[in-house]
Structure 1
Amino acid sequence: MSTGPAVAVAVTFVWLGMVLAISFLEAPLKFRAPHVTLQIGLGIGRLVFRALNTVEVGFALVILAIVVAGSTSPRVTAAFAVALAMLAVQLIAVRPRLTRRSDQVLAGLDAPRSRAHYAYIGLEAVKVIALIVAGILLLTV
């Protein structure tokens, strides 16, 4: 395996692990901890997801560079395109809505529950599947 695909495998599975650990483990569990209020949980969540999304953008840029260099098959490129598209929709369309609601809650206002969380989780699930597919395809080349 040459350097480009090897780096792509490593980045893919680290990215996948981070998303699984944070989105599907840490995020729901923090609200079950004793004495964690909604405001504290949202404050922690904003910091954690801002960090995760920053790292994800970095990983996406590495993957994009590898794809542009021509080191991946069309099927791998398609799987990565899905993952990158899901990340872009999360950052451009969903995160701003979630941020507006958390701003209201953190300011002590009574904000209605947001359906944007469901969109974010759905996009996250599709991104996870795309990363799994890309990783498996990279390993079988």
Structure 2
Amino acid sequence: METSDLVTGAEWHPGDPLWRRVPTADPGGKYLADFMLLIPGLKRWAPQRLEQLHRELHTLFRQHAEQVVFADLNMKLNLLWISHRQGKGVSLTLFEAIRERVPEAVLVANQAEVELGLQRRRRRWSLRRLLGHHGG
């Protein structure tokens, strides 16, 4: 098993790249948010532990069925991808719930975090310019 959809909604074709399978909007046309978790050593986990992880993730995503639209577990790359409806604290809630089950999971920067980082960088650059600092 190299990759598996944990939440079905779109037709799944093993081997298709994630960008072809991940929905970008819900059926109502609202854009989805997403994040990715790195799970170090996932592909080397014992089959029993992998099966337990699958069961726990399925249960978690069913509990959050109103938010979670798509999830993909990529065994080859040790990655878990989650796409969900936007809402205050949804990413954090899901991330914390997954970390309870998989403590070694590491959040990979999502788009919102990247945007926030870029905004902070622009602000610092603008402030330096305003103050006349031209350091490198």
Bin the TM-score by the shorter chain: under 0.3
Per residue, is there more helix in 1 or in 2?
Answer: 1
Kindly name which structure, 1 or 2, has the bigger radius of gyration based on alpha carbons: 2
Per residue, is there more strand in 1 or in 2?
Answer: 2
Q: Which has the higher contact order (CA 8 A, sep 6+)?
A: 1
